[in-house]
Chain A
Amino acid sequence: MLLDYEVLKFLWWGLVGTLLIGFAITDGMDMGVGTLLPFLGKSDGERRVIINSVAPHWDGNQVWLITAGGAIFAAWPAVYAAAFSGFYLAMLLVLIGLFFRPVGFDYRSKLTDSTWRTAWDWGLFAGGFIPALVFGVAFGNLLQGVPFYLDPFLKPHYEATFIWALLGLLNPFALLAGLISVAMLAMHGGVWLQLRTENVIAVRARRVTGMLAVFVTAAFALAGVWLYFGIDGYRILSQPPFDAVANPLAKEAVRAPLAWFDNYATYPVALIAPAAGLLGPLVTWMLCAARRPGFAFVTSALSMTGIIATAGISMFPFIMPSSTQPSSSLTVWDAPSSHLTLTVMFWSVVIFLPIVLLYTVWAYTRMWGKLTVEDIEARTHEAY
């Protein structure tokens, strides 16, 4: 095989990260728009403008999430197994939130009744807000370690189940991470609305984007300080060679203070990620104030990239540390699929992702243009 197993293991860490960042930039944008919808649209016409700014694209964007899920299944089956069952009720919440989106977009404007439409508007809000919050909470918990362990036959078990497991996830640090997630996606959605709408909606979007951007920077900084002083990381003491078969029980790992800062000490260049997460939102705010939403979209995308990469780099090589039994933790080296599967999946991504990007760009350019209330009303039976 063309690429060594350990190289592929490392590349897959980058590829899963890429899919998650791709999800934040594309689907995060329309989730952010959904979160802002009830607040920025004061009339039915305005809300339709906001909805139609993402209507042709949200479905394609959501595939980033679905593909990230599928890729984690294929490349890190142990993580797919342990994470989604361990976060069971949280995942149920995410799914229920997401249920509102396909139907919300397509059904909302099919009837003129105002109760019907308002109900779907809040449905679209829930479909943006809830998943964004839970994904952030999930990252907050990964950073603290998750209370699970693997039995000798590698089945994941959890310390708490049912509602207790969910309540355990909702701790203060995780909730802060959840708010960062909601705010950064909403900021990104706000920038998008400045790009695609005019007048009053764009003005409101600019104001709220500024506030959200400042919040993201402040909350992200706070989370960093909290992580430094209040939360232990995890460290590997010994493990089989990087190219060994994937066996999560073969290593020895411990919980250790400041371990999440090890990688920045070893590779100071990695500090570029938290720097982007801290400064990016502020630059975004300034660019919005300077009426440059196009550039602001790029910087808000970079901010989110920085924030997500910060979480990933801090934990590397851990993906899902176990607080119950640190040696059961899942890492980049011991959670992946076999060499052949990683190879097959690597080439699938390398071939198909660029094609996806090409036609996605084509789709966005075809549907480009500022949307107005008059425009929607003129096409009232065609638009969402």
Chain B
Amino acid sequence: MIDATFVELSRWQFAAVAMYHFIFVPLTLGLIWILVIMESVYVMTGKQIYKDMTKFWGKLFAINFALGVTTGLTMEFQFGTNWSYYSHYVGDVFGAPLAIEGLMAFFLESTFIGLMILGWDKLTKVQHLAVTFLTALGSNLSALWILVANGWMQNPVGSEFSAETMRMEMTDFWAVVFNPVAQVKFIHTVAAGYTCASVFVIGISSWYLLKGRDVAFAKRSFAVAAGFGLAASLSVIVLGDESGYELGDVQKVKLAAIEAEWETQPAPAGFTLFGIPDDAEMKTHMDIKIPWVMGLIATRSLDTPVIGLKDLIAHNETRVRSGMIAYENLSKLRNNERTDEIVAAFEVHKADLGYGLLLKRYVENPADATEAQIAQAARDSIPYVPYLFWSFRIMVVIGFFFLALFGAAFWVLARGRLEQNRWLLRVLFYSIPLPWIAMELGWIVAEYGRQPWAIGEVLPTFLATSALTTADLIFSISGYLIFYSILLAIEMFLMVKFARLGPSALHTGRYHHERNGNGRSGSAPAAQPAE
């Protein structure tokens, strides 16, 4: 039978190491393009200050990148170590984008990052810019391939279950690559990364401006981040994840859960602006709705209804029943009872096999399930609503806040009134943690919203684990916790140290801490670096 504690621990470990990895990845994805912009300006104009900007923000980039690589290693092997049945069951499809990510993206990014950091004296200006650009291309391509893999978990297209090999097998590689869910996710995720990096650069630059330090350096960095951030935050919202929600039943469940949409509303559905979803009662208290908005967002039409959770559960119950038949016939096939009738019966119900497997939480052989167990399995087919409802709303609020913030920053910058708007600089500085909150919540919406599935409608999460023990998991979780905490503390220490040091960290002799009269406490007027 399924050991619930062991499954919970496996899930907690995966969530923890993935979310931890995702602290570093988005900053990498965006900051590298900011470096490309800065260095391009340097190569075109020859102005030293842009080279210093590239090098300084590059130093912070490298501190962050190191932990991205460290935690990425865990991810590459985590499926095999902790989700061995998953690996067997879907490796035929899921493994391919992961391997291509290595060949096409990681090699590119990782070969050139070393030259980018250490090759300033060994490369010509144009060569170095090319190296920075290729690092950017590599890191962003890796996001593409990992999201192709992840998109397939959400919406498993281009593949089919084989009873003979007892696994999902690829039938159409290009369908997997051009999975609409994956493509939308890619754009949304990288744009979020670009926003994150822009907030990082603009926040730290604002801090220098507040301190009146290295003003020319800070203003130029501010300008690059403001422009890039405005475009990125707009993209995150406009090209948001939304359009993916009409695809596949899992995405429909996710959409209804995000909206705490218990009943199917007549089209076009209203959007629940606020409310307190009650998962046990299956209703939302104190809800405030905006008419029409939800139907428009989700279906891009006025007459398509958005299916509510209760109807989805009822629909899924029929699929559980069909899945039981699929399982029964699969068991016969695995026992080498192979008649045309069994094969035909299996083929008819095969698409619902995953729903049949949901019963394995309660009964060894799903074909023997009771009515109560069937109802419970159908109820399990939707995730716990309040988590999604709140995660999504906080994420969206932060997203709109950034759009407003970058709009304001850009406006004030264009009017040349940065120093006069100290309140804005302060808000920008204190906003630095927000993108991480929004992105981790976005991760929860995407991955928790996929539950109970590891692979949407195909493989339940609780069946996907390895044959390990609770002791194994307690040991490894402790190991990750200890090492990751120490590494994070060290990373934050260095990041804060170098961010406070500012461009003086380059030891060029041109910046704040190195100029006459500026001690570490630095109360002297703004220093103008040479250009």
**A interface residues with partner B (beta carbon < 8 Å):** 52, 55-60, 62-63, 66-67, 69-71, 73-75, 77-78, 80-85, 88-89, 91-92, 95-96, 98-99, 101-103, 105-107, 110, 152-158, 161-163, 245-247, 337-338, 340-341, 344-345, 348-349, 352-353, 356, 359-360, 363, 366-367, 379, 381-384
Contact = CB atoms under 8 A, between A and B. Distances in A.
Given A59-B110, A99-B483, A84 B81 contact: yes
Contact of A63 (B65, B95, B110, B166): B110
A337 B95 contact: yes
Nearest to B64: A106
Contact of B100 (A62, A101, A348): A348
Given A73-B91, A155-B85, A363-B111, A102 B96 contact: no
Contacts of B96: 74, 337, 341, 344-345, 348
A98 B490 CA distance: 17
A58 B110 CA distance: 9
Contacts of B371: none
A102 B115 contact: no
B509 to A, nearest CB: 11
Instruction: Report which residue of A55, A70, A89, A105 has the largest number of chain B beta carbons within 10 angstroms of its beta carbon.
Output: A70
Interface string B89-128: 0111111101111111011101111110111111100010
B420 interface: no
A363 B475 contact: no
A352 B103 CA distance: 6
Chain B: interface secondary structure? helix
Contacts of B476: 88-89, 92
B27 interface: no
24 contacts: A55-B114, A66-B76, A67-B102, A70-B99, A77-B88, A80-B87, A83-B80, A84-B77, A84-B81, A85-B84, A99-B70, A103-B67, A105-B66, A107-B63, A154-B166, A161-B469, A247-B164, A337-B95, A356-B103, A356-B108, A359-B112, A367-B118, A367-B122, A381-B506
B173 A340 contact: yes
A363 B88 contact: no
B162 A60 contact: no
Contact of A74 (B98, B134, B467): B98
B99 A74 contact: yes
B110 A60 contact: yes
A5 B82 CA distance: 30
A170 B511 CA distance: 56
A57 B114 contact: yes
A334 B476 CA distance: 31
A379 B76 CA distance: 35
A74 B92 CA distance: 6
Instruction: Report which residue of B72, B91, B113, B134 has the largest number of chain A beta carbons within 10 angstroms of its beta carbon.
Output: B91
5 tightest CB-CB pairs across the interface, nearest first? A77-B91, A84-B80, A74-B95, A67-B102, A60-B111
Chain A: interface secondary structure? helix
B87 A70 contact: no
A246 B165 contact: yes
Given A66-B76, A341-B96, 7 more contacts: A56-B114, A56-B118, A57-B111, A77-B167, A89-B476, A356-B111, A360-B111
A366 B122 contact: yes
B311 to A, nearest CB: 33
B466 interface: yes
Given A70-B99, A82-B84, A348-B99, A59 B483 contact: no
A58 B118 CA distance: 12
Contacts of A78: 88, 91
B74 interface: yes
A365 to B, nearest CB: 10
A340 B173 CA distance: 8
B487 A99 contact: yes
A359 B106 contact: no
A102 B100 CA distance: 22
A176 B490 CA distance: 36
Given A81-B80, A363-B115, A103 B490 contact: yes
A60 B108 CA distance: 8
Nearest to B85: A155
B443 to A, nearest CB: 21
B169 A340 contact: yes
Contacts of B73: 66, 95, 98-99
B520 interface: no
Contact of B467 (A110, A158, A345): A158
Contacts of A247: 164-165
A70 B69 CA distance: 15
B170 A102 contact: no
B67 A102 contact: yes
Contacts of B471: 161-163
A42 to B, nearest CB: 24
B468 A161 contact: yes
A99 to B, nearest CB: 5
Contacts of A60: 107, 110-114
B69 A102 contact: yes
B479 A70 contact: no
B98 A70 contact: yes
A105 to B, nearest CB: 7
A154 B170 CA distance: 18
Nearest to B74: A95
Contacts of B164: 245, 247
Nearest to A244: B164
Contact of B98 (A59, A73, A156): A73
B332 to A, nearest CB: 12
Contacts of A383: 118
B91 A88 contact: no
A103 B487 contact: yes
B8 interface: no
Contact of B173 (A105, A344, A367, A384): A344
B338 interface: no
A219 to B, nearest CB: 28
B155 to A, nearest CB: 19
Nearest to B59: A110
B86 to A, nearest CB: 8
Contact of A366 (B67, B101, B119): B119
Contacts of A381: 506-507
Contact of A84 (B84, B102, B110, B120): B84
B95 A102 contact: no
B88 A81 contact: yes
A91 to B, nearest CB: 5
B500 interface: no
B211 interface: no
A70 B165 contact: no
Contact of B165 (A96, A338, A345): A338
A155 B487 contact: no
Given A59-B69, A63-B110, A363-B115, A89 B472 contact: yes
A159 to B, nearest CB: 11
A246 to B, nearest CB: 6
A356 B80 contact: no
Nearest to B176: A344
B66 A341 contact: no
Given A158-B467, A338-B170, A383-B118, A73 B107 contact: no
A69 B118 CA distance: 28
B389 interface: no
A279 B416 CA distance: 72
A81 B77 contact: no
Nearest to B62: A106
A107 B498 CA distance: 12
B467 A85 contact: yes
B171 interface: yes
Contacts of B121: 379, 382
B334 interface: yes
Nearest to A67: B102
A58 B120 CA distance: 18
Nearest to A366: B122
Interface string B180-197: 000000000000000000
A163 B487 CA distance: 25
